């Protein structure tokens, strides 16, 4: 018990003496390109889907805390595997949707990404929540998987909400 009190006093003394603990660093870098699939369902049609998904991310781990945990990027969501894809083509809208995302990487490798707003006209809203992994210990994310939600609202049409899971691997 006495040793525990001595250790506690030492740590408190260090904390109050102005010796700050080093700021946390990101668990790994996420900069890179990732490819894989998303699986889920279209709430508008009820169809079960497995479709392609690409994600390119940028993160500057050399920035000071907390900016070193910030992540930005571009998601390419392929809707050609859906009934909505044919509708988009008929309205001269892209079947592969490019969506800017921004988010944060947690200290445990959990990462949340989303786009920020829905502009007037053709609207897409995207959110990812999942776990990143550095499988080989090189300090870079090798895979990212979890749950996602993608809402597409073409002008004058009903919203299509795709929910499900995604799985991506580094290229």
CATH superfamily of 23-170: Quinohemoprotein amine dehydrogenase alpha subunit, domain 2 (2.40.128.120)
Tell me the pLDDT tens digit for each residue of 76-85: 988 888 888 8
Provide the β-strand partners of residue 37. Answer: 52, 167
* Residue-level pLDDT at 124: 85
pTM given for the model:
0.82
* Candidate from 12-26, 58-72, 123-137, 143-157 with smallest mean pLDDT: 12-26
Instruction: Decide if pLDDT at 12 tops 50.
Output: no
- Helix (H) and strand (E) counts in the chain: 2, 8
Label residue 53 exposed, middle or buried (CB < 10 Å: 0-12, 13-18, 19+): buried
Distance between CA atoms of 47 and 163, rounded to whole angstroms? 11
Provide the β-strand partners of residue 129. Answer: 112, 147
* Residue-level pLDDT at 58: 98
* Residue-level pLDDT at 137: 94
Distance between CA atoms of 155 and 168, rounded to whole angstroms? 31
Judge whether 130 and 96 are in contact, CB under 8 Å.
no
Instruction: Decide if pLDDT at 68 tops 50.
Output: yes
Distance between CA atoms of 122 and 124, rounded to whole angstroms? 7
* Residue-level pLDDT at 20: 67
In the structure, what pLDDT confidence band is assigned to residue 136 with cuts at 50, 70 and 90? very high
Enumerate the domain spans of the chain: 23-170
């Amino acid at each position: 018990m006495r040793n525990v009190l001595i250790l506690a006093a030492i740590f408190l003394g260090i904390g109050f003496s102005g010796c700050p603990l080093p700021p946390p660093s990101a668990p790994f870098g996420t900069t890179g390109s990732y490819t894989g699939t998303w699986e889920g369902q279209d709430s508008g049609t009820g169809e079960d889907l497995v479709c392609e998904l690409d994600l390119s991310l940028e993160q500057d781990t050399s920035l000071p805390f907390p900016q070193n945990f910030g992540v930005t990027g571009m998601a390419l969501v392929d809707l050609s595997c859906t009934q909505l894809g044919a509708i988009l083509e008929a309205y001269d809208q892209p079947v592969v949707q490019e969506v800017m995302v921004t988010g944060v990487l947690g200290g445990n490798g959990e990462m949340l990404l989303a786009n920020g707003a829905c502009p007037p006209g053709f609207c897409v809203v995207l959110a990812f929540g999942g776990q990143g992994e550095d499988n080989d210990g090189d300090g870079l994310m090798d895979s990212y998987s979890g749950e996602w939600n993608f809402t597409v609202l073409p002008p004058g049409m009903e919203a299509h909400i795709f929910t499900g899971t995604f799985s991506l691997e580094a290229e």
